[in-house]
Structure 1
Amino acid sequence: MHNQTNRVAVTVAMMVATLLTALDVTVVGTAMPRIVADLGGLNLISWVFAVYTLTTSVTTPIYGKLADLFGRRIVFTVGVILFLAGSALSGLAQSMTQLIWFRAFQGVGAGAVMPVTFTIIGDLFPGEQRAKMQGLFSSIWGIAGLIGPLVGGFFVDQVSWRWIFYINVPVGIVSIALVWLFLHETFHRQKQPRIDYAGAVLFTIGMSALLYALLNGGTMYAWTSVTLMVLFAIALVCLAAFLFVEVRAPEPMLPLKLFGMRVIAVSNLIGFFTACVLIGISAYLPMWIQGILGFSATNSGITLLPMSLAWPVGSTVAGRVMYKIGSKTTAVAGTVSILCGTLVLVTAGVSTPAWVFTCVMILVGLGMGLVTTPTTVLIQSAVGWNLRGAATASNTFMRSLGQTVGVAIFGTYFNHALAAYASAHIPPAYRAQATNVNGLLNADALAHLPAQVVQMMHAFLESGLHAVFTLVVAAAVISLAATLLMPSHRAVMAQQRQVTEH
């Protein structure tokens, strides 16, 4: 980076871009009831979210490598432009099918924003400053969780749901302008960069098939269906071929030697399993709050809110202390906090008060902040400029993969646990009513049912959720075990000095 780079202006640009993509996740959820009312397609609603996740996950590692080959500025710009084009098209959608396709296009652009943003911050700031900045950027996701529903609600009620997409365009243009005006980078670009086209194509096909199968398994298709078997076979063949190509490529899209570095391999393992924990709690705790405690959807959202507040606090603390008490100690403290929260969750019962779940959210949020910041910083510090984009993207990708795999596994186990409980404990005469999960989430429907049936419904749902929370605890235990495998802080600092010298 040239000295004339204005770090403040570029940092603001990165924060704006990160906030855009973070808000997009929470804002759309708030607007979906109105979108469905206008466009129809209620049965396709999950795909508005799933397809965005799929395309973002698949393209993230590709952008990370391109940023190493062609520079951060141009790749960031291309990603944001694609994101803004997808946003504009989503606002213009006239059917749910169109919206799903445009969201897929939007996700292709979003795949560049997160890894390249974190990479640019890694380039701009040295070790300890980098830790503080990564903590700040992690807090943006917490802010998005707080203001997203408010922003979405305002546009839906006062203007139109279409403006939750349109508003991205002018804000994104400001971000691009700041980057081009104030980010000046120099690197020795190859005269003819060797782009790993074969690796990119094989990875895209293989991961798309795998993620599509995981997202639809047990819902749209049975796990034993021919469609899923074919998708898994395609994924296996393409990903095996991808590994074969990567070993031999001059400039591999995802350099496998990254995973040979202990700090990167362990950090990515931690990212995968903490993402499993996160999606398990985010997806299934609201069901407990609404179905067992009888709270409204709004109140269940409020119960989850402390995690959005505690996460940035944990990130900020981690950024300030990881170079004082050690990065490994900080990460271990984070996974211990997450494990404590999940253990409280798995021991909850029908009579457990709501404030206990608020404490769970605080523990998990603090833990996520404490573990995410050091692992991100260590990954970036373990490699030089020419691999930092790919290394950062590998971690972002592993977190996305963790959420997708987690959703698939938790959903399958949840359904299996419910079926087993119903056949063992609920008389056939009551089974249809007592196993109605949707009815459990509708207070008006419960009011017309006999107390015996309601009690059975609560026990039925509790059994399924306890099964999921047990798996969440297992993921938290693995996360803790992985942090214990991290290299010592002294070894990490020695490696950082070596990278800096070279």
Structure 2
Amino acid sequence: MGRSYRALTLGIVSVVLMIAFEATAVGTAMPIAARELDGLGLYAFAFSGYFTTSLLAMVVSGQWCDRSGPLPPLAAGIGGFAAGLVISGTAQSMWPFVLGRAVQGLGGGLVIVALYVVVGRAYPERLRPSVMAAFAASWVVPSIVGPLVSGTVTEQLGWRWVFLAIPVLVALPLAVMLPPLRRAAHAPDPAPGTLPEAPEPVAPPVRDGRRIWYAVALATGAALLQYAGQDISPLSVIPAVAGIVLLVPSALRLLPPGTFRAVRGLPTVILMRGIAAGTFIAAESFIPLMLVTQRGLSATMAGLSLAGAGLTWALGSYVQARPRLAPIRERLAQCGMVLSAAAICGASLALVQSVPVWIVAVAWCAGGLGMGLVISTLSVLMLEQSAPAEAGANSAALQVSDALSNVLLVAAAGTVFAALGGGTVGAAADAGTHTAAATSHPAAFAAVFLPAAALALVGAVVAGRLRPKKVGAGSA
């Protein structure tokens, strides 16, 4: 927040704040919007549309940043994000609403990668952990007040104002940010030696056109897998197989070589982002449903049970930003993954009726602390291990790993949940009946939580490979 960086910091943090409010507020208003637009049958596509287009935009943004700097994709992304909100907010039927969500995804994918490149270009290495901590802190207020504000606005003014009001939040801060961002975007790359040399031989870059097509295939494959997971039937095997055929080779080409083998250094950083985000989000997606159907909480109380994680997430990100902890970043990541695994296991204890329900809030605060340690640490390590000309592509790979793992693990969890009878839980609860508990299957929830916790523990082991192998005496 010094004079040299204040305007830029306020601007980019405001953009993250906009994304955070969108994520928390729009999710609250979405059921009402779908019902009024007579589009409950397309409800899932309002989410998958955003995800699918954001995957494509992340890859485009990475190449765009490396070629032209972060300012053009950032400006285009903010404009696209706002345009998508307006399209959805003014939609008169469900398909235009879904289209608006897809346009939001394009904007969001462009923005998130460009923000990482801005951090790498505009801030010295010693300040980058603090910027990542500021990004995490930007989620605190939205995670706590977003659902409450969104619910109030939806009830008093209508769901459309939730979509239409969000772009206004950043108009003034963006105007303040543009001049320093322009200077940062056109600043010369750091002199040789200011960033560590690549720990592994870098493969020749793939032509831009091919990477875009790989991104299209990746997004299409992910969408097909989501579609197949929504309807368990023999015919769903067809889109599932097609999704895998498209997704696997595309992911291998879009992520750094060695990612799925956890090669030391950058490949493990990218892999760990997927493990950390995917396991936590997959579990979090089912916790409110568990609290409503198994323990009888209202939807508002179930959501508030997770709100404390926003505070502890910011705290964990603040802790990792301390300069004296820089030499032990991989240990921080390991500690964070252990906390995440413990939190998922702790939340699952609420399936036992004799366990007090507040155990979920306590456990999720611990999980938020762990995620704050992990996610910010991985972002810092990614920038630290990226040459200037590769910052955009590597930032895109980090976000692709995050988004891809989210959809794959959530889709897998949903499929297992439905196969074990969990679908009857949601149906009963949505119908407003009192038979949800009677038709519920705690094993369906356990089958979601316990594998997620186990994978988080695997991540704790893999995190020991985040640093590149040292080359020198006694270590070659």
Matched to 1:402, the amino acid is S
**Residue 409 of structure 1: CA displacement?**
1.0
Mapped to 2, the partners of 1:324 and 1:487 lie a distance apart of: 12
What is the CA–CA distance in structure 1 between the aligned matches of 2:373 and 2:441, rounded to whole Å? 32
Larger radius of gyration: 1
Per-residue CA shift, 1:205-236, capped at 9, x if unaligned?
A: 31122111221123246365364056326515
Q: How does 1:75-86 map to 2 (within 5 A)?
A: 75-86=73-84
**Partner of 2:28 in structure 1?**
30
Report the AA paired with residue 131 of structure 1: P
What does residue range 149-228 of structure 1 map to in structure 2 within 5 Å?
149-183=147-181, 184-185=183-184, 186=186, 196-220=207-231, 222=233, 224-225=235-236, 227-228=238-239
Instruction: Specify the alignment match of 1:246 in structure 2.
Output: none
Pairs within 5 Å for 1:240-389: 243=253, 256=257, 262-320=264-322, 323-324=325-326, 326-348=328-350, 349-389=352-392
Percent of aligned pairs sharing the same letter: 26
In the TM superposition, residue 312 of structure 1 has moved relative to its aligned partner by 0.8
Contact 1:28 1:152 in 2 (8 A): yes
Q: How far is 1:297 from its partner?
A: 0.8
1:247 corresponding residue in structure 2: none
Q: What's the CA shift for 1:57?
A: 2.1
Q: Given the superposition, is the C-alpha separation of residues 225 and 49 from structure 1 closer, same or farther in structure 2, using an over 3 Å criterion?
A: closer
**Greater than 4 Å deviation, 4+ residue runs:** 253-261
Q: Is the 8 A contact 1:73 1:179 kept in 2?
A: no
Q: 1:309 to 1:440 in 2, by over 3 A?
A: farther
Q: Which runs of 5+ in 1 are unaligned?
A: 244-252, 420-434, 495-502
Segments of 5+ residues of structure 2 without an aligned counterpart are 190-204
Aligned to 1:441: 429
Change (3 A) 1:255 1:198: farther
Over the aligned positions, Cα root-mean-square deviation in angstroms equals 3.1
**Pair 1:173–1:212, CA change in 2 (3 A):** same
Mapped to 1, the partners of 2:206 and 2:327 lie a distance apart of 41
Aligned to 2:52: 54
How many Å separate the matches in 1 of 2:31 and 2:438?
Answer: 30
Q: Secondary structure at the match of 2:17?
A: helix
After TM superposition, the score normalised by the length of structure 1 is: 0.82
1:433-461 Cα distance to aligned partner (Å, 9 max, x none): xx831465379632xx6xxxx8753xx42
SS class of match (1:326) = helix
Residue 322 of structure 1: how far off its partner (Å):
6.1
SS at match of 1:351: coil
- The match for 1:479 is 459
2:413 to 393, 406, 410: 410
Is the contact made by 1:206 and 1:237 (CA closer than 8 Å) also made in structure 2? no
Q: 1:265–1:224: structure 2 CA closer, same or farther, 3 Å change rule?
A: farther
Q: Is the 8 A contact 1:336 1:367 kept in 2?
A: yes
On the 8 A contact 1:337/1:364 being kept in 2, the answer is yes
Change (3 A) 1:215 1:375: same
Amino acid at match of 1:373: S
TM-score (norm 2): 0.86
Say if 2:393 is the partner of 1:390. yes
Report the residue type matching 2:236 in the other structure: S
Quote how far apart the aligned CAs of 1:391 are: 1.3
Output the amino acid matched with 1:91: G
Is it true that 1:71 corresponds to 2:82 in the alignment? no
Looking at structure 1, the residues matched to 67 and 206 of structure 2 have their Cα atoms a distance apart, in angstroms, of 8
- 2:344 and 2:237 map into 1 onto residues whose CA distance is 36
**Contact 2:278-2:409 within 8 A present in 1 as well:** yes
Cα shift at 1:195? 9.5
CA distance in 2, matches of 1:257, 1:302: 40
Question: Structure 2 vs 1, CA of residues 367 and 87 (structure 1 numbering), >3 Å: closer, same or farther?
Answer: same
Deviates more, 1:223-232 or 1:137-146: 223-232
Distance change (3 Å), C-alpha of 1:160 and 1:290: closer
Amino acid at match of 2:310: S
Instruction: Provide, for residues 265-299 of structure 1, a one-character-per-residue CA deviation record: whole Å limited to 9, x for no partner.
Output: 11122111112222222211112211111111111
Q: Once the two structures are superposed, what CA deviation does each residue of 1:99-139 show, in whole Å capped at 9, x if it has no partner?
A: 10111012101111112112212222223321111111122
Find the residue that maps to 1:487 and give its secondary structure. coil
User: How many Å separate the matches in 2 of 1:57 and 1:114?
Assistant: 11
C-alpha spacing 1:292/1:119, structure 2 compared with 1 (3 Å): same
Is the CA contact (8 Å cut-off) linking 1:293 and 1:350 kept in structure 2? yes
Determine if the alignment matches structure 1 residue 140 to structure 2 residue 138.
yes
Q: 1:304 to 1:188 in 2, by over 3 A?
A: closer
Deviation at 1:256, TM superposition (A): 4.8
Whether the 8 Å CA contact 1:311–1:368 is kept in 2: the answer is yes
